[in-house]
Amino acid sequence: MADRSDPSRRVLGLIFLTVFMDIVGFAIVIPMFPSLLEHYLRTEGAAGSLVAAMVDAARWLAGGEPRPALVAVLFGGVLSTLFSTLQFIFSPIWGGLSDRIGRRPVLLGTLAGNALSYALWAVAGEFWVFVASRLLCGMSAGNIAVASAAAADVTDRANRTKGMAVVGVAIGLGFLVGPVLGGLASLWVLPHLPAPGPLGLNPFSGAAIVSASLAALNLLLVWRLFPETLRVADRAAEARPTFFALARVGDGGVRRASLANLLYQVAFTGMETTVVFLTAALFLFTPADNAWLFLTNGLCLILAQGLAGRFLGRRIGERAVARIGFATGAVALAAIALIPYPAPGSPALSHLVVPFFAATGLLAFSTGLILPSLSSLVSLYSHPDEQGRNLGILRSAGALARIFGPMTAAYAFFHTGTHQWVYLAGALLLLPGFWMVGRLPAPAASANSQG
C-alpha cells in the first residue's frame, strides 16, 4: 500500500481541494436554472429552434398550452437526464482507466473537459450551445470516482471511512459555496451583449466565467501538486469491460450498495431537479434567494458527513449509519410533500419558509450520512486494483438514477401541476433502500477486502 504517514495527510488535503473546487464550479449553475431556461425560452421561441421544438413537445404532453413555469421544470429534467446519461456511461470508464494507468492522468483529463465545458457555456448565445456544454460536462464527470479511489489508495481499512468523508465533506462544501456563489454571480451581467447568434455572451456568462476559471485553476493545481497515488504493483493488468458494469459486477456487496445508492439518488434527484422551481412557486424566490437555501443545506450536509466520517462509522458501523440516513431521508421527503402547492396567482407562502428549510436541511443531512458510508463500504469490499472501477460503478449507479429521477420527477410535476406526488413517491422509494442496506455483508466478510 501507499505510504500512509504524513504524506497521506497531504494527499487527502489535495483530494479535498480538488473535489471542492470541482463541485463549486459545477454547482454555480444550480440556482440559475429557472432564470436561464426562461431566458432561452424568451429569446428563441421562433419555429425551428431547439427551444421551440421542446416547447412543442411540452404542448403535446400537456394536451394544450402549459404554464411557463411547468415548461421550465420539464426542460430542467431533460437537461439533467442528458447530463446524467453521459455520467452513467463515463464514470466507470474513467474509474477503470485510472485502475490501469493511474489516478493523476485521468484527473487531468476530466478537469480539462470541465474547464472547456464551462468556457463553452460562457459563449452560449443559443440554447443548443448551452446543451452541448452540459453534455461535455457530463462526459467529464468521472473525477469524483477517481478522487475517491485516490483517497482509498492512501488510507488503510481502519481509516477508510475517514478518507471517504474527506471527499464527502468536500462535496458538501462545494454544494454549499457553489450555489451561493452562483446566486451572487447571477447579479453580474456583462455589458454590451452582442446580437443573438450561436456564439456570444449571454446574461449568465459572468457565472460561467467564474466556473471556467475555477476549473482552470483546479487543473493547474493537480498538474503541479497532485502525486500519483496508485502503485504500479496495484494497477490492473488490462482494462476491464465497464459499460453497464453494474449488471456484471461479481461482488455482492458492491452490487447491493450500488443498487441502494441508485434508489436513494432517484428520490434525491427528484427533489434536486424540482426544488428551485418549487421555491419560485411557493415563495417567489430569485436565484439569490435560492442561494440561502443551498447554504443551509450545505451546512447540514457537512455536519452529517463529519459525524459519519469521524464518529458514527467507527462506533456503530457504516451499514447502520447508512440506514439512519435512509430513514431520515424518507421523513424529510414526506414532510416536503405535506406542504401545499399554491394555485396560480396566489401570494407567496412566506409562513412556510422555515418548515421548508428544515425539511430540505434534514434531507441534506441524510445525504451526508448515506454517501460516505456507501462509498466506504464499496471501497472496503474492493481489492486495490478494483478501487477505481468499483467506486466508478457506485457513481455510475447514482448517474443511472439521475437519468430516470430528474425526468420522472419533472414529468410528474409538469403533468400533475404539483410537487406533492413527486416527494411522496421519493419517500416511499427509500423504504426498500433501507431494507437493502440492512442486507449488506460486513466488510470483513468480503473475499476482496484488502487494505
Range 48-66 average pLDDT: 67
Q: For residues 227-239, b (16+ Cβ closer than 10 Å) or e, as one string? A: ebbbeeebebeee
Q: In terms of pLDDT, which residue wins out, 296 or 108?
A: 108
Locate 155 and state its grid cell. Answer: 488510507
Q: Cα(434)–Cα(411) distance, rounded to whole angstroms?
A: 26
Q: For the chain, what percent of residues have pLDDT higher than 70?
A: 81
Please name the residues in contact with 328: beta carbons below 8 A apart, sequence gap of 6 or more: 362, 363, 365, 366, 369
Partners of 124 in beta bridges: 199
* pLDDT-derived band at 405, boundaries 50, 70, 90: confident
Is the distance from CB of 425 to CB of 412 less than 8 angstroms? yes
Nearest Cα neighbor of 411 from 38, 76, 39 is 76
Mean pLDDT for 17-32 is: 82
| pLDDT tops 80 at residue 60 | no
Residue that is written with C-alpha cell 479511489 in the block: 149
DSSP state for residue 188 in the 8-state scheme: -
Instruction: Give the pLDDT score at 358.
Output: 93
Mean pLDDT to the nearest integer, 330-352: 82
Burial (CB count <10 Å: 0-12, 13-18, 19+), residue 202:
buried
Rounded Cα distance, 73 and 407, in Å: 9
Q: Is-contact 271 426, C-beta < 8 A?
A: yes
How do residues 364-390 score in pLDDT, each as one tens digit? 899 888 888 888 888 888 777 677 777
d(CA 117, CA 413): 29
Distance, in Å, from the CA atom of 21 to the CA atom of 323, rounded to the nearest integer, reads 30
Calculate mean pLDDT across residues 346-355.
Answer: 78
pLDDT at residue number 349: 75
Question: What was the pLDDT predicted at 237?
Answer: 62
Q: What is the CA radius of gyration of the chain?
A: 21
Among 283-292, 340-349, 415-424, 432-441, the least confident range = 340-349
451 pLDDT more than 60: no
Q: Higher confidence at residue 55 or residue 5?
A: 55
Q: Mean pLDDT in the chain?
A: 78
The length of the chain, given as a count of residues: 451
Is 50 exceeded by the pLDDT of residue 133?
A: yes
Other Cβ atoms less than 10 A from the Cβ of 158: the count is 9
Quote the cell numbers at residue 64: 394544450
pLDDT band at 47 (very low <50, low <70, confident <90, very high): low
Answer for the pair 248, 396: CB distance below 8 angstroms, yes or no: no
**Residue 11: closest CA among 106, 148, 105, 110:** 148
Please tell me the distance from the alpha carbon of residue 413 to that of residue 75, in angstroms, as a whole number: 12
CATH domain 7-445 topology: Growth Hormone; Chain: A; (1.20.1250)
Q: Is the pLDDT score of 69 beyond 70?
A: no
One DSSP character per residue, 107-162 reads HHHHHHHHHHHHHHHHTB-SHHHHHHHHHHHHHTTTHHHHHHHHHHHTS-GGGHHH
pLDDT digits (tens, 9 = 90+) for 163-209: 777 887 787 778 778 877 887 777 776 665 555 567 788 788 888 89
φ/ψ of 217, rounded to 5, equals: -65, -40
- pLDDT tens for residues 200-218? 887 888 888 988 998 999 9
Residue 32's pLDDT is 76
Per-residue confidence band for 219, with pLDDT thresholds at 50, 70 and 90: very high
Angle between helices 205-225 and 160-185 (to 10 degrees): 150
